[in-house]
Amino acid sequence: MKRAGVYAAAAVLAVLVLAALAPELFTAQDPLAVDSGGTLRPPSAGHPLGTDENGRDVLARIVHGTRTSLLLGFGAVAVALVFGGLLGLAAGLGNRLVEGVVMRLSDVGMAFPELLLALVVITVAGGGTSNAVLAIGVAGIPNYARLVRAQTLAIRRSGYVEAAHALGLSAPRVILRHVLPNAVKPVLVLATVGVGTALVAGSALSFLGLGTPPPEPEWGSMLSTARNFISRAWWYGVFPGAAITLTVISVTVVGRALRLRSEGRAW
Amino acid sequence: MTTLRFIGWRLLAGAGVLWGAATLTFLVVHFTPGDPAEAVVGGEGAAPTPEVLAQVRAEYGLDLPWYQQYAAHLWRIVRGDFGTSYRLHTPVTQAIGEQAAATVELALAGAATGLTLAVAVALATARRRRWLRGLASAAELVAASTPTFWLGIVLLTVFSFGLRLFPATGGQGPASLVLPALCLALPIAGVLGHVLRESLEEVLDEPFIVSARARGLGDAAVRVRHALRHAMTPLVTMTGYWVGALLGGAVVTETLFTRQGIGRLLVSAVNAKDLPVVLGVVLLSALVYVVVNLVVDLLYLAIDPRLKEAA
């Protein structure tokens, strides 16, 4: 039963990635085609998930929004992982001074809620999709720096690294060939669960009108407009959010299974 | 003596974090493109004369070398002066103070609801039949994965516009607090419930639980009086999560339900590029985080005497 859930979640993720790469496979309709005669129509055969305030097909907008929404989640984690990873690696491998500086900086970073830190970046850099990715990514750096440092320290003290040193291998060689490859996998596994959180934070920025601007389809920004029509068009507010929730659930389920497997526990 | 030293260290670490936070806000102000003096006078459209700009620079110390400005920046923050809002032209502390009560009310209601739900579900399902635990775990997953802003839209669709049970906007008496508090609470309940249930299942294996059962205590009494207290500790240490979930949630919830509060003040400040207000709210959240962390540490010291020896 549990395994079936994990496979179902992985299948949902595969469909989402496919929709991000080739949205035309899932809908024939244009997500930007305005139809002033058919605004806010309930779900029907022609529009399975109804239409929005400009008569655009909600299903088409959700399908075409997949790319941007996934980009917000995966892109932000990638930013946090690269910068946090470099800092964490430096802290784990460097001397006490480097470690102290990185850890105290991350102490300061952890004192700010991630969404608030992201809002500071938006205030300075302005809104838009790429700035939203950057903002959520920057907010996640302290967390990933800690994660990578802990991982690096664990590997550095392991038997095979000591053995490599004892064999007379140079420090850069030990780092590149032994520490790095072994640190990457568990960190990537932990980062998978983080994609869900980043996606929610990114679409929250769009919902607040600070992320992806209209008319480009994106789940959070669709909800931002839908909130003005709750009393008249339930489908408009319900389906884009269901897409976010389904994506986050799938990412979390797959991420948890990967983590349990990498820890050698049953999943 | 060791206890005093421990408290001293924690105070010092907290002050260090706040100093770092204040430094960060200074760096943000200085590396933001654009002339701060122009922002003070009223943004790009204001077209002030050079004399006015020079006067503002002198008044705000913008013509001083950076280290003097930095010192002045820190000193102002220590005295509780977070600057003046570009947009509202009132002190930032005053702007935040006017909105604080509404946000505290929402956050307390949300935290209490979320905690109550998590405790109830965990107590009822930990170490119970498999299908019941599976159900609880699925519910927790869905609740924790649901974005606050969508949850709010669904709640409004069903309870406000569908069943007409609660008002759709805030500030209309106690009934208008129900949906925002629920909206804030459900994702929190999902996360906390997951943590609490796992920790409760661990605690129920402890020897002192066996001894409590051996003394003839009923299952409910064992769970509520003995196991729960121990199982709650991980929830208390999740300080960063609490502050982040409540404040971040308030930003979204207040916007969605058009409620007064710090969250909405923050969103309109971000839109208007009103940097002093944004940084003021962020500094305040760091202060809350540091103080709550400190209080939790001291409470632990008071509750668990073993820590005194360790410290």
* pLDDT interval class at A3 (50, 70, 90): confident
pLDDT > 90? residue A38: no
Mean pLDDT of A49-77: 93
Say yes or no for a CB contact (<8 Å) between B141 and A208.
no
Q: Check: pTM over 0.95? Answer yes or no.
A: no
Least Cα distance to A183 among A159, A160, A157, A149 occurs for A149
Question: ipTM score of the complex?
Answer: 0.89
Assigned CATH topology for domain A2-24+47-262: MetI-like fold (1.10.3720)
Asked if B282 and A112 come within 8 Å (Cβ–Cβ), the reply is yes
Chain B (267-286) residues lying within 8 Å, Cβ to Cβ, of chain A: 267, 269-271, 273-275, 278-279, 281-282, 285-286
Residue B128: which domain range? 94-265
Whether residue A6 lies within 8 A of chain B, CB to CB, comes out as no
Of the CA atoms within 13 Å of residue B12, those in its CB half-sphere come to: 6
> What does the pLDDT look like over A65-101, one tens digit per residue?
999 999 999 999 999 999 999 999 999 988 899 999 9
Would B260 be classed as within a structural domain? yes
Q: For chain B, how far is it from start to end, CA to CA, in angstroms?
A: 10
Residue at token pair 């959070």: A220
The domain ranges of chain A are 2-24+47-262
Confidence check: pLDDT of B44 > 60: no
Within 8 A of B157 by CB-CB distance, chain A residues are 230, 234, 237-238
Nearest to B153 among A108, A210, A241 (CB): A241
Per-residue pLDDT tens digits for A163-211 = 988 898 888 888 888 888 888 888 888 898 899 999 999 999 999 999 9
The answer to whether position B129 is within a domain reads: yes
Q: pLDDT band for position B5 (50/70/90)?
A: confident
What CATH number is attached to the domain comprising B104? Answer: 1.10.3720.10
Helix (H, G, I), strand (E, B) or coil at B91: strand
* Contact of A35 with A50, CB cutoff 8 Å: no
Distance CA A39, CA A178 (A): 60
Partner-chain residue, chosen from B28, B144, B244, that has the shortest CB–CB distance to A120: B28
- Give which of B202, B170, B194 is closest to B119, Cα–Cα: B194
Q: Which residues is B84 bridged to in the sheet?
A: B91
As a residue count, chain A comes to 267
Note the pLDDT of residue A179: 84
What total of structural domains would you count in chain B? Answer: 1
Contacts of A83 (CB under 8 A, 6+ apart): A137, A138, A141, A144, A145
> Side chain identity at B150, as an amino acid letter?
W
Instruction: Report whether A201 contacts A136 (CB < 8 A).
Output: yes
